[in-house]
Amino acid sequence: MTVLETCEESNATTTDKTADSQVLHWIHQAAHFLPSQGPIEVFVHHNTLHAFETESFHDAVRAGHDRYGAEPYLSEPEYRRLCAAGRITDDELECVIVRDLGESCNNAISELGTRFDIRFAMLRHAIYVGPDAELRWIIAETDTLERFRETTTAINRGRTISASKKWLRNCKQNPHPVRNVESLLNKFRANPDKWSDLEWESFSLHLLWRVCLGGVGAFRGKARQRQFVRPRDLLLHATGEDTDRYVHDMLIRFCAAYVDQGYSDWILPNRDQGFFESFLALFSDATPGTASWLRGLHDELSTLRAGNVSAASSIEASLSELGIAEGDREEFITQSLLSLRGWAGMIWQLESGVDWVVHSIPTGSLVGMLAIQLILEKCAIRHVGAQVFEEYSSVQSILQLAGDRVHDPKPLTVERSAFLLFQVAQMLGWTPLELARLTELEWQKLSQEVESFPSLERRRIFHEAYERGYRHAALDAFATHAERLKAIQPAWGSGRPAFQIATCIDDREESFRRHLEEVQPACETFAAAGFFAVAMYYRGAADGFYKPLCPAVITPDHYVQEDVGYSFEGIHRDRAALRRTLGLASRAFHTRSRTFLGGMLAGSVGSLASVPLVARVLFPRLTARIRQRLGSFLQPPPVTNLQLERYAEAPGPTNGHIGYTTDEMARVVVRMLEDMGLKNTNSFSRLFIICGHGSSSLNNPHESAYCCGACAGKRGGPNARAFAQMANDWRVRGKVAAHGIKIPDDTVFVGAYHNTCDDSVVFFDLDRLPPSHRAEFESARESIEEARRRNAHERCRRFSSAPLNISQDDALRHVEARAQDISQARPEYNHATNALCVVGRRHWQRGLFLDRRAFLNSYDPSQDDDEHSILARILAAAIPVCAGISLEYYFSCVDYRTYGSGSKLPHNLVSLLGVMEGTSSDLRTGLYQQMVEIHEPMRIMFVIESTPAAMLSIMERNAAIARLVRGGWVHLAVIDSTTSEIQVFQDDRFQPYHVGSTAITFASSSLECYQGSREHLPFFSIKEQLGPFDQ
């Protein structure tokens, strides 16, 4: 007997196990659809639709629309506005339709017009299709049946009216071609001969409508059947009660406490045991005063707890209780998790990917979260059932009642199709007479043709045309400008440039470089990913911890620390101690001010807070200066060194293991110089500045998103400084020379840091600059000073709070104040408007005005090997990173509510790792509205100085690049700088691009290009200048 029992039991457990693993599998599948943004401290731009990256772009946005209910493109009215503004031209629309339809473009539909005509008309004129109620209203209450649409041409009006007249004459001879013709005629005065023009117009339209209605009605359109996978949706449609409201309110609060990184004073009890366990422990006791909808909760939880039921088994039980059909379960789990996708995604990230947070969470948390969500959902359903149906028994019977109550009103399928045709008929001048002759089959064909071009398809065509316009303008500009520059020698002739500077590839550095080249034509600029091949954990003199400074995909091996000069060691120690004391005091003040007694004390001296309050809001720049002045007594002493060299074998964070060996340094330097195409001794100038970048702003939880993407959302100054120090080392240079790159002895590298928000530039380790190079440096610094002022001025044109006629000095002050203003929701526009990425030598693109919209990456194909290994490694980083930025901007821009994080205004920092909207909402991922408001959502175009063969071979070798390019997530073009010929990657192959227009506007300076405009600007070719400062 006993044996038998055990046997049964084990059987039961195995089935349980398989059921459990099935549930776990579904959850893991669903987790792919969750946002993959980690804690906000490190903001990595990535493709919002990464889950659909294996599909093509257009399929993926459609899948995103189905899955998340998000907008795939801009709205139709927005595209129409762009058409009206001339941003999308008819030519482009035509080209895109022709390309899209291919051969079938000229197929005539029932001799009324070609497919092209119909589609083009539907794009040119707004089509109104709304929900049934709106349709009913439009027909019954507006003058749709009285007057032609405004855009109907006079010819088409005349045609329709005369056809109607003819029809009426025929009608007398041959009665009843249209049903209910009497009822139609009854609407008008008896004698048609006396009808005014307006009456004829109205009659024609009424007739047209009835003909369409009759024609479409002859064959029945299919009605859509609504299916609810989640009981919540069923209840919402049946009763208007949203069970998610109850569930989410509770779940959000608990999730926030569960993942909290140290904001709240009390830590969630039993947090380390997991989501499910901790929730069970907290809520399985009965509490008087519990919300009425939760009254059955503690019984259920204590039963689960007593039975030691796992989260997965609990999900299994909930699925059965909710009556989810076997086939729907995976979809149900996905939809359930997606209903609170921000929190679910964060929990998934914390348990599966992000390992650097202070308080990590155990694996299995997402499963626990879903289990709890379903338990709460059952409670909420029971509660709603009790309230609405007064049904207290089981969830199933409540859902049964709700299902009975949902009765969709008869959908107006026929009317909808007819109305669509009615509108198209007016645009194309199809007369009632012509239409009345159609057979049933022809009607079906016609209707299908019109229906097969719904809003989503129209928007896709609009979008293609929208991108095409910009893309072709850009390619024309590149080809023309490169052709023009061929004849022009660099300003330094055969000598050496005045100085050289390398910045990050960031689009915000485009204008900085351009201005610098205008200020000092004899300078040469380069760009490489802003960590400058120095992937390291870095700790500044005033930092508490090592933080990675390299792209997020790389895990650095090396540690670098900033040390204070030996003679300042004492001061440093005192200041560190003072900082610590003040830090602890400040921490105590901040947290205690929220408590009972501490708050009392804080409150009684709180009046003093009015001083910083008023000062910081009204005088941000002045306050910042005062704070800086006071803060300088706390900061580490000015003279610091990087502890960069390691002698021990293994790298590590402890003393002796910090830094790089000279061999490793040489590898870093070689890699960087190769990437920039600097292999010849005579291509180096005497001064080489390496400029990292970052951004500082106040009151901005998304600050990391503004910093250097190649430094994991941090500031890239230390990388530039480390690189300069490495490249200056004689031993390193020796080893670099062994790789074939001989850096001239008189070349000095200087590290710098550009703050893209306030446009300041600081230099590192100037004390080590040899006096022989002072003059070069001073002159370079002067040029950089001027360039940053001009850069600030160019940036100000985008800020509507800065007047268009602002002076350069005021512009600089304006951007400085922006960076220090706690009330500023847009300290800078970050990567907004990015649209291009150029990889190639500067000499054929220099002086092309790209309006801060292009990532620029240096690359010299003449220095590359046959394997294109340098290009391959540059693109391995550049394409995914730039595509990630571009796509994140794209999606947050087309739907900032679903893909982005909504408006910044009500953002509320939660658990120190994300933001909610307002008091309690899903964790919001993506970019916020204020960040993307000036963005043009387009896929990025890469213009690479290379050959089709090289690119195809790189795509062969790199799956990520191939996926992005072949899937149409990015556009790709290659340019040959000697012939200025361009080939674009289209339809899975490279095709020659025929330059459309070689007319490019010339400008004498960047200022002339942008002055007086806040809009997106066309491309300009800036004339070369003779020398510095002679504009």
Minimum gap (Å) between residue 694 Cβ and other proteins: 14
Stretch that binds other proteins, among 325-333, 431-439, 774-782, 908-916 (CB under 8 A): 908-916
Minimum gap (Å) between residue 245 Cβ and other proteins: 8
Residue with smaller CB distance to other proteins, 667 or 702: 702
Q: Which of residues 323-362 bind other proteins (CB under 8 A)?
A: 358-360, 362
Stretch that binds other proteins, among 118-126, 146-154, 402-410, 682-690 (CB under 8 A): 402-410
Stretch that binds other proteins, among 169-177, 317-325, 391-399, 612-620 (CB under 8 A): 612-620
DSSP 708: B
Q: Is 408 in the site for other proteins (CB under 8 A)?
A: yes
Site string for other proteins, 847-886 (x = CB under 8 A): ----------------------------------------
Gap between the Cα atoms of 477 and 1020, Å rounded: 8
Q: Is 586 in the site for other proteins (CB under 8 A)?
A: yes
Contact 464, 654 (CB under 8 A): no
Contact 208, 160 (CB under 8 A): yes
Of 757, 788, 761, the closest CA to residue 695 belongs to 757
Q: Which of residues 450-479 bind other proteins (CB under 8 A)?
A: 454-456
873 burial level (CB within 10 Å; 0-12, 13-18, 19+): middle
Stretch that binds other proteins, among 82-90, 346-354, 404-412, 939-947 (CB under 8 A): 404-412
Q: Which of residues 359-388 bind other proteins (CB under 8 A)?
A: 359-360, 362
Binding-site member from 131, 656, 734, 740 for other proteins (CB under 8 A): 131
Residue with smaller CB distance to other proteins, 283 or 844: 283
Residue with smaller CB distance to other proteins, 271 or 935: 271
Contact 403, 265 (CB under 8 A): no
Backbone angle region of 911, left / alpha / beta, with phi > 0 → left and psi within -120 to 50 → alpha = left
463 burial level (CB within 10 Å; 0-12, 13-18, 19+): buried
List b or e across 22-57, with b for residues whose CB sees 16 or more CB atoms inside 10 angstroms: ebbebbeebbebbbbbbbbbbbbbbbbbebbbebeb
Minimum gap (Å) between residue 146 Cβ and other proteins: 24
DSSP 995: P
Give the SS3 label for residue 694. strand
Binding-site member from 609, 626, 738, 775 for other proteins (CB under 8 A): 609
Q: Which of residues 545-564 bind other proteins (CB under 8 A)?
A: 545
Cβ neighbours around 680 below 10 Å, total: 11
Minimum gap (Å) between residue 1011 Cβ and other proteins: 22
User: Where do runs of H (alpha helix) occur along 267-364?
Assistant: 275-283, 297-306, 311-322, 329-338, 341-352
Binding-site member from 268, 297, 398, 534 for other proteins (CB under 8 A): 268
DSSP 713: S
Stretch that binds other proteins, among 141-149, 573-581, 646-654, 669-677 (CB under 8 A): 573-581
List CB contacts of 832: < 8 A, sequence separation 6 or more.
889, 931, 932, 933, 934, 935
Minimum gap (Å) between residue 1009 Cβ and other proteins: 24
Cβ neighbours around 867 below 10 Å, total: 12
Q: Which of residues 749-808 bind other proteins (CB under 8 A)?
A: 800-801
Stretch that binds other proteins, among 209-217, 658-666, 696-704, 876-884 (CB under 8 A): 696-704
DSSP 768: G
Q: Is 256 in the site for other proteins (CB under 8 A)?
A: yes
Q: Which of residues 915-934 bind other proteins (CB under 8 A)?
A: 916-921, 930, 933
Q: Is 448 in the site for other proteins (CB under 8 A)?
A: no
Gap between the Cα atoms of 890 and 897, Å rounded: 13
Minimum gap (Å) between residue 307 Cβ and other proteins: 20
Minimum gap (Å) between residue 722 Cβ and other proteins: 20
Minimum gap (Å) between residue 359 Cβ and other proteins: 7
Of 342, 370, 365, the closest CA to residue 272 belongs to 365
Q: Which residue has the tokens 């379903």?
A: 374
Contact 43, 713 (CB under 8 A): yes
Contact 779, 497 (CB under 8 A): no
Q: Is 947 in the site for other proteins (CB under 8 A)?
A: no
Q: How far is CA 100 from CA 428, 465, 993, in A?
A: 21, 11, 18
DSSP-assigned states of every residue in 61-109: HHHHHHHH---SSS-HHHHHHHHHTTSS-HHHHHHHHHHHHGGGGG-EE
Q: Is 236 in the site for other proteins (CB under 8 A)?
A: yes
Stretch that binds other proteins, among 177-185, 608-616, 653-661, 1004-1012 (CB under 8 A): 608-616
Q: Is 643 in the site for other proteins (CB under 8 A)?
A: no
Minimum gap (Å) between residue 282 Cβ and other proteins: 6
Q: Is 28 in the site for other proteins (CB under 8 A)?
A: no
Q: How many helices (H) and strands (E) does the chain have?
A: 38, 23
Q: Is 271 in the site for other proteins (CB under 8 A)?
A: yes
Minimum gap (Å) between residue 794 Cβ and other proteins: 20
Q: Is 628 in the site for other proteins (CB under 8 A)?
A: no
Binding-site member from 117, 821, 860, 888 for other proteins (CB under 8 A): 821
Q: Is 254 in the site for other proteins (CB under 8 A)?
A: yes
Token digits of residue 293? 């909808």
Contact 502, 665 (CB under 8 A): no
Residue with smaller CB distance to other proteins, 184 or 542: 542
Minimum gap (Å) between residue 552 Cβ and other proteins: 18
Binding-site member from 105, 109, 282, 806 for other proteins (CB under 8 A): 282
Residue with smaller CB distance to other proteins, 283 or 660: 283
Of 30, 65, 29, the closest CA to residue 49 belongs to 65
- The amino acid present at 778, given as its one-letter code, is E
- The amino acid present at 215, given as its one-letter code, is G
Contact 944, 870 (CB under 8 A): no
Residue with smaller CB distance to other proteins, 411 or 1018: 411
DSSP-assigned states of every residue in 292-312: GGGTTHHHHHHHHHHTT--HH
Q: Is 606 in the site for other proteins (CB under 8 A)?
A: yes
Contact 395, 231 (CB under 8 A): yes
Contact 984, 990 (CB under 8 A): yes
Residue with smaller CB distance to other proteins, 405 or 671: 405
Q: Is 227 in the site for other proteins (CB under 8 A)?
A: no
Binding-site member from 25, 253, 768, 774 for other proteins (CB under 8 A): 253
What are the backbone dihedrals phi and psi of residue 186, each rounded to the nearest 5 degrees, phi first?
-65, -25
Minimum gap (Å) between residue 223 Cβ and other proteins: 12
Q: Is 573 in the site for other proteins (CB under 8 A)?
A: no
Residue with smaller CB distance to other proteins, 238 or 669: 238
Stretch that binds other proteins, among 152-160, 192-200, 879-887, 903-911 (CB under 8 A): 903-911
Q: Is 909 in the site for other proteins (CB under 8 A)?
A: yes
Gap between the Cα atoms of 321 and 231, Å rounded: 11
List CB contacts of 544: < 8 A, sequence separation 6 or more.
none
Q: Which of residues 284-323 bind other proteins (CB under 8 A)?
A: 285, 287, 289-292
Binding-site member from 388, 698, 995, 1017 for other proteins (CB under 8 A): 698
DSSP 387: I
- Number of residues forming the site for other proteins (CB under 8 A): 117
Stretch that binds other proteins, among 197-205, 406-414, 525-533, 747-755 (CB under 8 A): 406-414
